[in-house]
Structure 1
């Protein structure tokens, strides 16, 4: 009821005085009624505000609890986090995954390999320069042949964080793929012996473990010992790795777990996992607000003539994709693009927006 309504109620009360023969002062009663109704209105407002604040407090606490239990995890492994993992009960879903799943999703039987390898790294956290880049633009450059001839180089280099995959060359293809590299994800079989050939001095080299022998290989090349680990690889990795050890990080297997089972929602019984491109995209979605892609996509199942990568003319082979579900990845990418979560530089919508 507004103040106009309260005045009308008081006037109505005055008019009824003669009917009921009330001997009370009409004006006094009317003012008391107005005051009482005004106080009641204030009480209702305060009650509503209190309920709203209580609901907001509950919602914020719930969100903080969800973030703490589900999303509050570090993208890179640290010796401290592994020590705590072995020394205390699990407090988060990420810790349970690391403990109860085997590589590439967890460290069930490889936690000591990981811990011993981490002892060799002087730096293990995300560099402070990356932490200050929240709300900035990030791009994941895939190795697909679709980027060949697109001349996206300058546009790619305009991003704050540029993530590249495996051993993809850069400089001789810079007109199409750019030449800056902020982060490069790799595993033993895709390692570049000389990291400076296709990276920058400050490129963050992110090691992605898929199997226990990967940690053994990394430890051996870091110690510069003669490599004894020669089995368990589908392709022999380099015997030497001359990267800057202070720029080396080990990806938390939970990133691979989340990309496989939460983003792609693959069935565990299929024994498949996300490709390096989707793993890199998951990492990007955690450290950047705007995420773009370029060079994603594989030839169709029945297309044996189209090259796989932008840097060679090799044809696709079925055995190369046996561990992946390319259909699920394509569908997920399309859905994320339609929802505006990520943008593809090659899409007409992106082209129209940036011209």
Structure 2
């Protein structure tokens, strides 16, 4: 009888512990649910103001308000959103072009989509109607045949795995010279570099890591590995139909290569791991030129590689910084254009770009907190 009573007592205790465990689990789920609901409320409020195109500012150091002066909450509320996420969502009303179907690189699939009518997306229409550097009109077959040489065409998954991906676009401007921010640059998750800019002798100022390097035939490094990492993603930016021909010839190692039609003679040999090569979607250039800078189509000008790279970064990353942007003023005859030049560079290489429009747009993005410039004081000074 005693043993039976003991067994019953043990069973009751076990059931009691089981009930307590279930209650604890229920309380935990309830807390999680409340946290998610609170976060949803904050983000929903954030989204409504973003859709209205309002800019969030801080007044008195405590309250966040929109452009109309309406309170959005105190600093404690906004702390839950996080600085990285705030900078990301702020971009929407200013850049006005985030689309779920946006593809940074050309793929065989994107070429096939041009065969469907009517076009489902603006991206497809732009690619079909515009010539390079903004579209593939009259260059579709050339682009498609070049893509067949690339075993990998999409954005690598490693570039989209982080919740708060910090990226930096390192420009080639002289403003980064002597700044000694190399370690700060290398601390970013993704580091985007431009053209043939060297890093070896200048790592104190520009760092030494390279995640992505944008280039075109005239700016290609003869030996890419000398100033890039083994896993660097080399992104080819086509500006004219001849550019696709150059890329096919160097990949196929053609003996008699085309030499005419380039404003500067490109390398005759270019060796790189082909699986780490991508072709930039011309829509990225179109977007940077007409939607960000809002240049006039009749001007015949287009965005610099730096702005194109920045547009790419704004799509890939939640936090975007820049360094080494800006050019010497028109009356400045002593400051070099690039950080790696001992003498003055030829400014006639820049005639196809609107440097004033780029400077104004960059300053506006910095002022609004969309991007941050690690060399802001020199950037602004050199453009006055």
Question: Which bin holds the TM-score, normalised by the shorter protein?
Answer: 0.7 to 0.9
Kept in 1: contact 2:338–2:345 (CA 8 A): no
Deviation string, structure 1 residues 54-98 (Cα, Å, up to 9, x no partner): xx9xx9xxx9xxx99955220000011101212443111111000
Q: 1:134 to 1:221 in 2, by over 3 A?
A: farther
Q: Which consecutive unaligned segments of at least 5 residues does structure 2 have?
A: 1-47, 52-91, 378-384
Deviation at 1:136, TM superposition (A): 1.1
Match of 2:353 in 1: 324
Aligned to 1:96: 125
1:263, distance to aligned residue in structure 2 (A) = 0.3
1:231 positional shift: 1.4
**2:109 — aligned with what?**
80
Secondary structure (helix, strand or coil) at the match of 1:213 reads helix
Q: Mind listing any 5+ residue stretches in structure 1 that lack a counterpart?
A: 1-55, 349-355
SS at match of 1:255: helix
Q: 1:119 aligns with which of 142, 148, 151?
A: 148
The aligned length equals 286
CA shift in 2, pair 1:231/1:331, >3 Å: same
Distance in 1 of aligned mates of 2:97 and 2:115? 19
Please state if 1:133 is matched with 2:156. no
Counterparts of 1:214 and 1:310, CA distance in 2: 27
Matched residue of 1:185: which SS?
Answer: strand
Cα distance, 1:105–1:134 mapped onto 2, change above 3 Å? farther
1:145 alignment partner in structure 2: 174
Q: Which of 199, 203, 228 is equivalent to 1:199? A: 228
Tell me the alpha carbon deviations over residues 305-331 of structure 1, each in whole angstroms, 9 at most, x when there is no partner.
210111112324342211000000000
Taking a change above 3 Å as real, the CA distance of residues 88 and 222 of structure 1, as seen in their structure-2 partners, is farther
SS at match of 2:325: coil
Task: Give CA deviations for 1:281-336 in whole Å, capped at 9, x if unaligned.
Answer: 00000000100000001011121221011111232434221100000000000000
Determine whether 1:155 maps to 2:221.
no
**Matched residue, 2:251:** 222
| Contact 1:170–1:198 (8 Å) recurs in 2 | yes
Query: What does residue 243 of structure 1 align with?
Result: 272
CA contact (8 A) 2:288 2:303 kept: yes
After superposition, what is the alpha-carbon deviation per residue over 1:18-72, rounded to whole angstroms, capped at 9, x for unaligned? xxxxxxxxxxxxxxxxxxxxxxxxxxxxxxxxxxxxxx9xx9xxx9xxx999552
> Partners in 2 of 1:72 and 1:262 — Cα distance?
17
SS of aligned partner of 2:320: strand
Per the alignment, do residues 299 and 316 of structure 1 end up closer, same or farther by CA in structure 2, a change over 3 Å counting? Answer: farther
> RMSD value over aligned CA atoms?
1.9
| Aligned-partner SS, 1:99 | helix
Instruction: Report how far residue 252 of structure 1 moved.
Output: 0.2
Contact 2:98 2:315 (C-alpha < 8 Å) held by counterparts: no
Q: Using the alignment, how far apart are the partners of 2:369 and 2:98 within structure 1?
A: 27
SS in 2 for 1:230: coil
Distance 2:312 2:328 in 1: 25
Question: Which whole-Å CA distance do the structure 2 matches of 1:108 and 1:172 have between them?
Answer: 41
The 3-state SS of whatever aligns with 1:282 is helix
- Structure ID, larger Rg: 1
| 2:318 equivalent among 269, 278, 289 | 289
Q: 2:282 aligns with which of 248, 253, 268?
A: 253
Q: Which runs of 4+ in 1 moved over 4 A?
A: 67-71
Matched with 1:278 is 307
Aligned residue number for residue 168 of structure 1: 197
Q: CA deviation at 1:257?
A: 0.3
Worse-matched range after superposition: 157-166 or 301-310: 301-310
Q: CA deviation at 1:213?
A: 0.3
Provide, for residues 155-212 of structure 1, a one-character-per-residue CA deviation record: whole Å limited to 9, x for no partner.
Answer: 0000000000000000111000000000000000011121110000100000000000
- Give the match's secondary structure for 1:261: helix
Contact 2:111/2:140 (CA < 8 Å) preserved in 1?
A: yes
Distance 1:88 1:121 in 2: 27
Contact 1:181–1:203 (CA under 8 A) maintained in structure 2: yes
1:92-118 deviation line (CA, Å, top 9, x unaligned): 111100000000000001010000000
